[in-house]
Structures are given as C-alpha cells and as structure tokens.
Chain A
Amino acid sequence: MEILIEELKTTHQKTLQETDTQLRFTLESLESAVEFVSAMSEDEEMMFQILNEWKDSLHEEKRDITIKKSQKDYHRVLSKVGKHLVSLPSNEIPFLTSKKLERELIDQLIAEHLYRIGDFELADQFVQDSGSKIPEGFRGLMVQMHQILNQLDQRDISSALNWVHQTLQLREKDSVKEKEVKKKLIQETSKNEKEIKMEKEIEIKKEEQKEKEIEIEIEIEKDEEQDEKEKGKGKENSQKNNTQQKQIIKRTHSFEFKLHKALYLNILLKNEIKEAIKYSQKWFKKFALTHMKEIKQLAGCLVYSNDFAKRRFPELFDGSVWLQLHSEFIEIYCLVAEIPSHSPLELLCQAGESAVSVLKKVSGLIPINTGDELPMEIPVANNFKFHSSFICPVSKERSTQKNPPVLLKCGHVISKSSMKTLLENGKTKFKCPYCPVITNSQIDCIEIKF
C-alpha cells in the first residue's frame, strides 16, 4: 500500500511537470507567433505562410496529446489505489451497529470522560451541543480533583494536604456514627424480644381470639423480618463501610506520608539540609509506626551528598515521585468519592481494540446472538479483569450460587455438581480427581464463596 501511494506521489509530480512544460512551450511558440504576425501584419501572404508553417509545427509537436497522455499515467496509478482499497474487507460487525436507545447513554459517557480529562471548556461545549445530562456533583468533583492535581504538578502540596485532612476527619466522624447506630439496633432488637414473650403469654390465656392473635403474630413476624432486614442491611452496609473506611483511612494516611516525602526530597535536592531536618522533625512523627523503613531511608539521604544520593537512589530524585503522586491521588480521590478511577469509556475502548478483530472474524463464521455468552473467548489483558470467576476443571462449567465450588480435603476445588456425580449411590466418600486422597463429602468439604 505504501508503495502504491509513493508511486502515486511520483506520478502526480511527473504529470504536473509534463503539463507545465508542454503548456509553457505552447505559450512560448504562441507568443513568438504573435510577434511574427504583428511584425508581418502588412504583408498578408507572408503572414499566412508563417501561420501555416507554425500550425504545421504545432500539429507535429502534438503537445495537447502528450498532456492528455501524461494525465492518463496519473489516472492509472490512482485507479490501482482505488482497486486495492475496494478489495479490503469492510469494517462492519453486524450485531454491533448503533441503536437509538444507546445514543443518549453514550453521549453521557463521553461527557463524563471529557470531565475526567480535565478539559472543562471542551466538556461544557459538548454538553451544550449534545444536550446530555451528567450526574449531579460529578462536575464539581472533577473540578476539585483537577485543581489539586494542577497544584501537585507545580510541586505544591498544600491543597492536597487540606483534602487529606478533610477526608480523614469525615471518616472518623462516620465511624463514630456507625458505632452509635449499631448500639441502637441492638437495643431495639432486645426490646422486640420482650414484646414477643408478652404477647405469647396472652395467646395461651385467650383461646377465643386465636385468629386475631394469629394476625398479630403475622404482624410481629413481619416486624421481625423488617428488623432482621434492617439489621442485616445495616450489618452488611456497615461491614462494607467498615472495610472500605479502614482501607480509605489506611490509604489516605500513606498518601499523606508520600506527599511529605516528596516535598522533603525537593528540599534535599536544593541542598538545604537544615531545612530538610526541620521539615522531617515536624511532619514525620505521625508516620513513625507505619512507615519506619522509608523514614530511615530518607534520613540516610541527609548524609549523602547530592550526586551520590542521585546515584544511590535514582528513583527518588528523578521526579518520578511526583508522577506517582499524581496517579495515586487520582485513585484515592475516586475511591473516596466512590467513582471508578479510570474513565470507563477509555478502558472499554482499549479492551475493544483487540476485541474488534476477533469479533469480525467470528461473526463471519457463526452468527452471534446478543444473548448470554459469546461462542469464543476474546483474550483480554489482566488489567481488565475485575471480577472473580471459577471454572470447574472437571465439567468446565462456571460456578454459580446454585452450583458453588467445593473445597476438598486435599485442597483441590471442584464444583458441587461434579462432586455429586463422583458420589455413587448414596456413598459419602469419594476420590479427588487430581490426587488419590479420599474426601468425605459431609465432613471435609466446604462450599466456597469467591
């Protein structure tokens, strides 16, 4: 293809040259003829003789024909290019064509993506043009994030520190609140128990009002269920929140340390050792328990001279610390705000790059239903995998809630259904398909929840 285009270029220039020169010559001869004619205007016979001669010479030279021929060369190469292009397969994948219902949603996603990049002018223009809606507060979140990022890029950590302190304060408040909520729930449930006991005694005494009491029972049961629900929900939510909060607190804590570390290294680069010591004394105390190793390393850098330190710890002094801060901040900010850390549009387009070619090949061979599962596997890099999935090595089925994976005595894992097939006629012991260890299906097995 490149060769063809090269050819195209050269032929185009050649034709240009040819036509140019030919036209130039014709013009020259014309002009000279004009001169002659005007000179010989008195003598008509001579004039016409000259004109005839000139016309014959024109005929002989056939300049107009050469011009047209040269154009044809260019035309020929161009048509070659055209044929080659037509022979290329089309880009269509039938089941991926655009549908009306999706357009608005895709516009919303693109708007989110543009806000994430930080180009607010462009994003606002897009929202105006397309009329798409963004979730409330998203724009504000992104504006704040980019403000802090801009400051970080200029090596200023003040706003980042502010944000870190704010989030830590909030999280601590929340964890205190949650403890109070838990206590309340426990008190309520204990109250309910007492109520139930009272009403059951009434039941035993009054037998005539059985139906009404049964109704009351139902109500109580419903209340119980609601309480259980709330308790359960509260439990789960609080559990999730607990783990999340802990993670967030941990990460923001270490992020704060990294901020201080980066500034400290900056001061060291300027060779201001006294200032560096002061700074470390001020800020590193908090992190003594968790980040002792790193603090030791940084303190050691005080002893080395600048050049030696750069050779000894190149990764600390070449500016990569700030780049790492940049990317970490984005991750932590998004974790706190409970939004994905990378734009979903960008991730999916990256994954789609390699997927498109596979899908095109297969859709030509097998019709792909927009149903449950693809008929073949699209190889995808590990950074696009976010969910666990277990495939039983025996039956090659994906495990579900009804068919969970089961841990055997030897440590191998198979699905429950394949374990049932290995059990024969009410027996409880069976041999693992991978190693000759006998497992007792009722005692040794645990159902795993991945």
Chain B
Amino acid sequence: MNLQKSLIQPCFEQLSRRLHKQYSLLNKTLTASFKILYSLPKNQNVGSDKIVEQMKKEIERLSKLQKDLNNYSKDDQLIIKKMQLRLQYHLSLLQVTQKNKTKNEEENENQEENKQEKDKDKEIKKENEIKEEKNMDKEKDKHIEIEKEKYMNIEENIDKEKKKENGNEKEKEKEKEQENEKDTKFFQDQIKLRKLELNRKLTEYMFRKGYNKTGTMLTERHQFLKQLVDQSLFLQGKKVSVSLSKHNLSIPLKWCLINRSKLKKIDSRFEFQLKKQQFIEIMRKGNRKEAINYARKNFPPWVGKCFSEIKSVMGLLAFPTPNEQSSIPNEEKEPFEILPERYQLLYGEHSWRKLNELFTREHVVLFGLSESPSIEVEFKAGICAVKTASCHSLHKKNQNNQQKITEHGTEKGKKMGKKKKNKKDSVLKGFDLFKEKKNINTNDNNDVVDRNTNCPTCHPIVNKIAKNYPRNLITHSLIICPLSGQIMTPDNPPMIFPNGNAYSLDEMKKMAEQNNGIVTDIKTNQKFKFTQLRKAFIV
C-alpha cells in the first residue's frame, strides 16, 4: 500500500489533465461547428458557393478534431498501460515483502522457544511453511491467471468491436500478450525485482536532485525504468525552480493559477508566499504606495490562515528600504542594518531559498509522491532497524571530559605515595583507569564500541548520519561468535573462558582438535584447556 499512491497517482494526474484539455477542445469545436451548421439554412441571401465553402470548412475542422482526438487517445492508452504495469509491479513487490515478513516473524519466534518444543514445532512449521508457500504460489498463479483471462477477454472484445480483419493487427496483439507474460515472469523473479526496485529509487533520487544525465543513463540500462519513473514530472518542476532561482516570479505565479484547486486541497500556502515575496520586491524598489495597493488586492483571502505572517511583512513599511537613506541624522550605519534581523532576512536570499524548497515539496506532493526521496526514507528506516549500541561512537565533548579525568587520576596516584609500582598490578588493577587513558571509544552508557567492518551502520559515513536516529529495541539476546561470525544457538552455545571472553562451541571444538585439547583466547593470547571452559545457557 505504501507505493501504490506514489506510483499510480502521477499517471492519474496526467490522465486527468489530458482529459480536461481534450474535453475543452472537443467542446469548443463541436459547439462552434454545429452552431454554424445549424445556422446554414437561415442565411438565405448567401450564395450557394459560400455555403459550400462553409460546409467544407466545417468538414476540415471536424476531421481535424477526429485526428487530434485519435492522437490524444493513443497516448492516453499508453499511460493506462503504464498504470497497469506499475500496479502489477507493486503487487509483486508486496508479495515479496510479505513473504519476508513471515520469515522474519518465524525466525524471531524460533529464538524464543525451548529445545523440546522446537523439535515438535519445527516439523509442524515446516509443513505450514510449505503450505504457505504453496498458497502464495497458488495465489500468484491465480492472480496471473485472472490477469491473463482479462487480457484475453479484452483482446476478444477489441476484436469484436473493431471488426478489423488485418492479420497484422492480430499478430501485434499476440506479441503484446507475450510481452505481458514476460513482464509477469520478470516480476516473479525476486532478485531481479529487488534490484529493479533499488534502481527505481536511485533514478527517482537522481531526477529529484537534478542529476539528469545520470538519471537518463540509469533508465537506459534497465528495462521498465522509463515506465516506472516520472521523468517528465521533475523536468516540469525544474522550469519553475530555475525561474525562482533567477528571482522571477511570473512563471511560478502562472503555475499556481493552473494548479489552484489542487493546491487548495493540500491546504498549501505557496501562493501566499509568492505574493509575499512580490510585496517584498516592490518594497525593495521603494514604492510604498504600490506595495500597499498590491497588499490590499492580494492579501485578504489569506488573512484567515496567514495573519501573523501578513503582519510581519507589513511591518516592512515602517522601516527604511535598502535603497533609501536613513532619516535619522548622523547615523553611521547603513539603512539596511538598522532593521532588526528578521526583517533583514526577508530582504535577503534566505526567503528565495525557502520559496524554492517549498515549491519542490508541494510540486511533488501534488502528484502523490512523498516529500523526501523514497531512498532516503528507506535508508534511514533501515538505520533505525539495524543500529545497535555498539555501533555508535563517542561525541567529542565526552572525550574532553575523559582527558581531565586522566590528569586528575595521575595526580591522585602521586599523592598516595606509592613507592614501587608493580607494572603487572597496575595493568590489571587499574583496569578502568587504563581504559580511560587509552580513550577507548565508549558511548554514553559506557558500552564498548566494537566496529564490525561488515555492519553497515559502522561504516564511517553512515555512522555520521546514524547519530541522529534512534536504535532498534532489542528484546532477545543475540550473541555472535567473534571467530566464525555466526549467531550462537542452543546447539552451538557460548563457551566462557576463565577471563570472561566467549566463543562458540563449534569453534572451540575445532581448535581443541587441532591443538591437543588446548584452546587459545585470541584477544589475550592466553592458553587454557578445553575442559576449563564453561558452557553458558542464554535464555
């Protein structure tokens, strides 16, 4: 359900706009030409030649209309096909995510259960899984069958309606059918589908940010991408944003006019912001009268929503404009600097930038897409899901505090008057001090940061982003063997060394076999006998 809106609404908007255009064209020409045709017999004084001329004109007009409508509808049909393709794509994605959800839930449930229950339940679950998969496949097959039937029915209907007996056309239709089948097959392949989804998000990101060349390159390399991404939408939006960056308000105002009803539905204030900027521009030139007139015309409909903003903008009238000279004599400052900050901001670049941002957001929301590119949203959601307390590294403030502690610590040690420091004792006893001196990365809760190169949140760039996002709540213990990287299960429990380090049973067994029953702790290089290790039961 997530994607459906963002995929299909742009197509819908396109279709509805085209419909409006077509309808208005149709209306105009029909009413005009039929008027003339109905009025023909009344012009009794006009010669037959002229009447024939007029009729021929109308013939031309109507045949032109026919052609135009045909052309329009061809493109419309393409758009409708695009919609269907997108819907198919979305449904197959849904199935994939649902499958993964059930898998995840099953995995989490498995961690909770005990051994005895597990064995029984495993079998039952396997059966259920197989059943579910069969059901899913059945549903998929049903779905595909239904669609195929629909296609078949429509094909038949078209044949009947058109009554065209050209063999070529039938062959084309068959080819289309086959293509549709290919599409469905493509969408069934999970891995390809996922890759396509990632690429789709990447292309959307490219076009949103304005990296058009890379976007077009991406669409050329992958099938279906052109139909899944709305390139034209973003290109249209660029025109307006370019004019905004050039401080030109005419094109954006036009755009507002065209989309007024839809902007109202979203409850947008973009039009008001444009008018406010216009007011500021008039004030910049110094025409207070003109500015007041403009305000009187344009601000009243917005009083209900934006009254405070109107007030603050009107306040500009009280202060000297950037071009005017100050009325206060012997004033050393320039007139612009007398203004309090918030008024300075209004005159500056800041308000134009805000306008630009507001436009890019609203433009995209009008077509049903989300405000921020979907890749960013998913990426950050993934951070929240994957991030753990061990990924996060220390803030700089805490580092300074730690340095102070170390200095203090050494002075204390000196004052105690210890004569002989046995090095071994100092290493082991003052373990905490030792750690602080070393400035091990610990986060606020004094967790040890353990950078795993494969963990995506430990990647330095991701780490910077991840600081601002919460981490996932963990309800079940999960221990990973540092040697093998595997998750420890009741079948492969952690074996605890006398010094406190833990490794998995399998790895310790292997090590013991190869070394005559002696296992070494890799972190401290200490050697122990396999029999000294103690099994730990993690609930």
Chain A residues engaging chain B, CB cutoff 8 angstroms: 1-2, 5-6, 8-10, 12-13, 16-17, 19-20, 23-24, 26-27, 30-31, 33-34, 37-38, 40-41, 44, 47-48, 51-52, 55, 58-59, 64, 67-68, 71, 74-75, 78, 81-82, 85, 88-93, 96-98, 102, 105-106, 108-110, 112, 119, 121-122, 125-126, 128-130, 200, 214, 217-218, 221-222, 224-225, 228-229, 232-233, 239, 242-243, 334-335, 338-342, 344-357, 359-360, 368-382, 384-391, 393, 396, 398, 400-402, 407, 410-413, 434, 446-450
Given contacts A352-B378, A354-B104, A412-B539, contact A402 B58 (CB under 8 A): no
Contact A105:B465 (CB < 8 A) given known A26-B62, A37-B51, A387-B450: yes
Other-chain contact of A17, B161, B211, B375, B475 (Cβ < 8 Å): B161
Residue A450 contacts which of B23, B198, B458, B502 (CB distance < 8 angstroms)? B502
On whether the beta carbons of B16 and A78 are closer than 8 Å, the reply is yes
Residues facing A in B442-462 (CB within 8 A) are: 442, 445-448, 450, 452-459, 461-462
In whole angstroms, what is the CA distance A398 to B55 when docked?
Answer: 88
19 contacts between A and B (CB under 8 A): A27-B63, A58-B37, A91-B2, A92-B371, A93-B381, A122-B221, A129-B212, A129-B213, A222-B410, A228-B423, A352-B385, A355-B381, A373-B470, A373-B473, A378-B472, A380-B385, A391-B474, A407-B496, A450-B494
A305 CA / B337 CA spacing, docked (Å)? 93
Q: Say whether A446 contacts B496, CB under 8 Å.
A: yes
Query: Are A27 and B59 in touch, CB under 8 angstroms?
Result: yes
Do A85 and B442 have beta carbons less than 8 Å apart?
no
| Complex CA distance for A129 and B208, rounded to whole angstroms | 13
Could you say which residues of chain A place their CB within 8 Å of the CB of B51?
37, 47, 51
Q: Separation in Å of the A423 CB from the closest CB of chain B?
A: 20
- Find A341's partner among B66, B87, B454 (CB 8 Å cutoff): B454
Query: B188 within 8 Å of A by Cβ?
Result: no
Residues from chain B with Cβ under 8 Å of A98 in the complex: 371-373, 376
Q: Which residues of B contact A106 (CB under 8 A)?
A: 376, 379, 465
Not counting A85-B9, A341-B454, A384-B385, a sample of 8 additional A-B residue pairs whose C-beta atoms are within 8 angstroms of each other reads A51-B40, A71-B26, A122-B218, A228-B426, A233-B438, A393-B477, A400-B389, A411-B534
B335 at the interface (CB under 8 A from A): no
Among residues of B, the one whose C-beta sits closest to the C-beta of A53 is B41
Tell me the total A-B contact number using a CB cutoff of 8 A.
406
Number of interface residues of B (CB under 8 A): 155
Instruction: Say yes or no: A355-B536 contact (C-beta < 8 A), given A30-B55, A51-B40, A370-B469.
Output: no
**Nearest-Cβ distance from residue A419 to partner chain B, whole angstroms:** 15
Task: Choose one: B379, B423, B438; the contact of A345 (CB below 8 Å).
Answer: B379
**Bound Cα distance from A125 to B498, whole angstroms:** 56
Q: Are B496 and A448 in contact (CB under 8 A)?
A: yes
Give every chain A residue within 8 A of B157 (Cβ-Cβ).
Answer: 10
Please state if B44 and A48 are interface contacts (CB–CB under 8 Å): yes
* Distance A9 CA – B30 CA, assembled complex (angstroms): 25
Chain B residues contacting A78 (CB-CB under 8 Å) are 12, 15-16, 19
Chain A residue with the shortest CB-CB distance to B81: A9
The reply to whether B97 and A34 contact each other, CB–CB distance below 8 Å, is no
